[in-house]
Chain A
Amino acid sequence: MTDTSPLQPIVLHGSTISYFTGKMENYFRVRDIPYELHSMQFPGDRKKLEKALGLMQMPALQLADGRWMTDTTKIIQWFEASYPQNGLVPDDPVQRFVCLLLEDWADEWWWRPAMHYRWHYPEGAHFASRHLAAELMPQVPVPGAIKRLMLRTRQRAGYTTGDGITAESVAGVETMFLRLLGQLQAIFSDRPFVFGGRPSLADIALSGPFFRHFALDPVPLEIIRQRAPAVLEWVARLWNTRMDQCTGEWLQGIPGDLGPLLDDIGDAYLPYLCANVDAVAAGNSRFDVEVGGVAYRRARYSRYRVWCLQELRSHYLALPGQAQAGVRELLEQHACWEPLWRHQSLPLLPGQEEGLPFRGDTKMIGVNE
């Protein structure tokens, strides 16, 4: 077990059906780091979190010594650097880069489809709104039906129909999900985890959209059961694996079946990030973009995702020379290279996100405003 005793008890404030709380839980489980999950309480926790972290976002991590942390990507990097034994990031720098790219993509690009499947379909919205009202808002003195309506309205306005999805684009978003299932079904039929017999950061990343969303919400869960049972098996396998006891090995190089995932990143996610850069640079809070064959209308700008692009660039520049050449070749093959560097300069705020994972002042600008 990873000895985190000076940090214990680690309290994860979130929800039992939250995307990023689920990602964090998978991380802690796989690294065998004890944690307590506490349901965030609205509106009571808002002030406390804004004071401690500069933002209200799920999940927030509280260490025994009183420190608070935010941003699962940076939290995981902090823990991985602190407890490097049996870590999740492969030594091979090319694999490492691909892990970080997949993590960013899983975090930022699959969020919208995950929210879509939950809040678009009545059975998903019914389940999630009842659950969240009871879990997070038991103290709010309004009738349950009003709480559920508030939740549905807020989530749709912030993340689905309010973030670019239109009646016309629903089919495209869902096709994208079915394609992902096909790709992952092939991968997990071939081997237990993305990079072989051992979990890596890439698996933790994908647990975000899958563990508490696609493999939980009624509509996508049934689709996975029917079309991608190996993915369902992987969700449970990851949850039940401990790095310290795992005898599996990472394979060498980048398996060919990750190619289609990279193709989608080059075709949709990175061009979307570029359109977001344009919007932020122009001071537009909304933008239209067509990527991966799907047209998004009035998508929300995100300062945080400009920083995400910057992070990807930094990860590339952090690679040793030879690995840079290898990664560049890989990215060029999958049309990821050009959009990664399309903008010469990125419209970041001074010192943007530098306080992560302990301060997140600028992170939520534009999100659900």
Chain B
Amino acid sequence: MSKLKKGEYGIVGRPESGYSMKVLSAMRYKGVAHQWMDRFSHHRLYKEHAKVQLIPLVFLPDGAAMQDSTPLLELLEARHPQPSIYPEDTALRFLSDVLEEYGDEWVNKLMFHYRWGYPADQKYRAKTLAEGTVAGLTTPLIGKIGGPLLAPLLVKRMVPRMAFAGANDNNKPLLVESFGNLVDILQNHLQSRSYLFGERPSFGDFGLWGQMHQAYIDPSCGAILRQRGPAVVAWIERMLEPEKCGEYETLESLEPTLAPLFSREVGPRFLAWDVANARAWDAGEAQTELEMDGRRYYQKTFKYPAQALGILKAKFNQASSDGELIRFLASTGCLQYLTGTDGTGVSAGSLKE
């Protein structure tokens, strides 16, 4: 801790970690004094403070450590409210919360699938990680020598992990389709605006960007993005040093191109899985299975997203008096996952004989 200057935040992370980069980008946007500390160069510090083997590990100016990027961004917002990353409009604020979670929990799978599922990506990412690891623990020169020895071991370690989290052979076509749809939908949406909700970044931008930036710096996803999503690439680059260049738009002006993101991706994929995962967790089932878009999807059941869904639902309950939000969620087929009732927007009574 002695390395941290007084009053500064410290981010112990890696450039290959979407959650680390998300925190870094948010701190840059808020103009918060911070220091980036490489995970491997600060190995001892990390071992001492990390409660779970995940990055980032963030030190607050008072020395306290945090590891979950979502509450961390909320804490940053509370302590450094300007410029805010929360739209004032209740509906947009909640949709931004959903996209933050969607990025963390679903787009992460898409990125991971490509990163560890294709030889070129595996090789490239294992090399940078291995070199970083060895160099961090020793010296850059030894890193260059030792990296190639470690790289195949990293691949061996990551591939089964990835399968647990959903990136298995059965799910592959679904994940490929999901990423392609996401790029096309974002391309259409970001052609005419700088950020997801207008001319200033939101909570949702940071969450989604964390994973999309990772996708962008990997070979396969990067190629798809450059080919099909030039406006998405521009947004990814912009979010490295985000700036407020105007105001948030209204839901009405966002809706034509934002609705497909929710009706095609967030609802039938992310929320459908999230709800099934939570149900499986409650039932003590080790595996989550569901039908998605005419395909069977399965993965290991996880506790963390089940908890995160609970938090998202609590946020929804606070926002649920907003008629426009309900209308938008119903029309995009998302409402049913948040309320557990029918999502057609017509009262349940009229649906039964």
Contacts and interface: CB of A to CB of B under 8 A. Distances in A.
Given A82-B181, A347-B353, A91 B256 contact: yes
B95 to A, nearest CB: 14
A349 B353 CA distance: 7
Interface in B175-195: 176-177, 180-181, 184-185, 187-188
Contacts of B331: 314, 317-319
Contact of B173 (A6, A93, A313, A318): A6
B346 A310 contact: yes
Contacts of B188: 84-85
Contacts of B323: 321
- Among B173, B181, B294, B346, max chain A CB count under 10 A is at B294
Contact of A320 (B173, B251, B260, B352): B251
Interface in A318-335: 318-322
A3 B330 CA distance: 29
Nearest to B351: A348
Contact of B294 (A69, A310, A313, A320): A69
A335 to B, nearest CB: 22
B134 to A, nearest CB: 38
Interface residues on B, range: 20 to 34
A83 B184 contact: yes
B123 interface: no
A243 B290 CA distance: 35
B326 to A, nearest CB: 10
B187 A85 contact: yes
B263 A81 contact: yes
Interface in B143-198: 173, 176-177, 180-181, 184-185, 187-188
B185 A358 contact: no
B25 interface: no
Given A91-B256, A310-B346, A348-B353, A68 B327 contact: no
A6 B295 CA distance: 15
A323 to B, nearest CB: 8
A226 interface: no
B228 interface: yes
A88 to B, nearest CB: 13
Contacts of A350: 351-352
B48 interface: no
Contacts of B344: 310, 314
A65 B173 contact: yes
Interface residues of A, number: 36
Nearest to B350: A345
A14 B331 CA distance: 31
B180 A6 contact: yes
Contact of B184 (A67, A84, A357): A84
DSSP majority for the B interface?
Answer: helix
A317 B184 contact: no
Given A3-B228, A81-B264, A85-B187, A314 B346 contact: yes
A344 B345 contact: no
B84 interface: no
A151 interface: no
Nearest to A64: B173
Nearest to B332: A318
A204 to B, nearest CB: 18
A223 interface: no
Contacts of A347: 353
B349 A6 contact: no
A212 to B, nearest CB: 27
Interface string A281-311: 1000000000000000000000000000010
Interface in A81-124: 81-85, 91, 93
B187 A67 contact: no
A321 B255 CA distance: 13
Contacts of A93: 255
B20 to A, nearest CB: 31
Contacts of B176: 6
Contact of B345 (A6, A85, A317, A357): A317
A317 B327 contact: yes
A318 B295 contact: no
A218 to B, nearest CB: 39
Interface string A70-84: 000000001011111
Nearest to B323: A321
Given A6-B180, A318-B331, A84 B260 contact: yes
A344 B350 contact: yes
B295 A321 contact: no
Contacts of A6: 173, 176-177, 180
A281 B228 CA distance: 50
A136 B34 CA distance: 71
A7 B184 CA distance: 15
A318 B330 contact: yes
A273 B264 CA distance: 29
A53 to B, nearest CB: 9
Contacts of A3: 180, 184, 228
A314 B181 contact: no
A346 interface: yes
B264 to A, nearest CB: 4
Contact of A84 (B173, B257, B346): B257
Contacts of A346: 350-351
B62 interface: no
Interface string B262-292: 0110000000000000000000000000000
B237 interface: no
B88 interface: no
Contacts of A348: 351-353
Interface of A: 3, 6-7, 65, 67-69, 78, 80-85, 91, 93, 281, 310, 313-314, 317-322, 344-350, 357-359
12 contacts: A67-B294, A81-B181, A84-B257, A310-B344, A310-B351, A314-B330, A314-B331, A317-B327, A321-B327, A344-B350, A357-B294, A358-B294
Question: What are the 10 A-B residue pairs with the smallest beta carbon separation, nearest first?
Answer: A318-B331, A358-B294, A91-B256, A81-B264, A317-B345, A345-B350, A67-B294, A84-B188, A81-B260, A84-B260
Given A81-B181, A314-B345, A321-B324, 18 more contacts: A6-B177, A65-B173, A81-B260, A82-B177, A82-B181, A84-B188, A85-B184, A85-B187, A91-B257, A281-B353, A314-B344, A317-B330, A317-B345, A321-B327, A345-B349, A357-B294, A358-B293, A359-B294
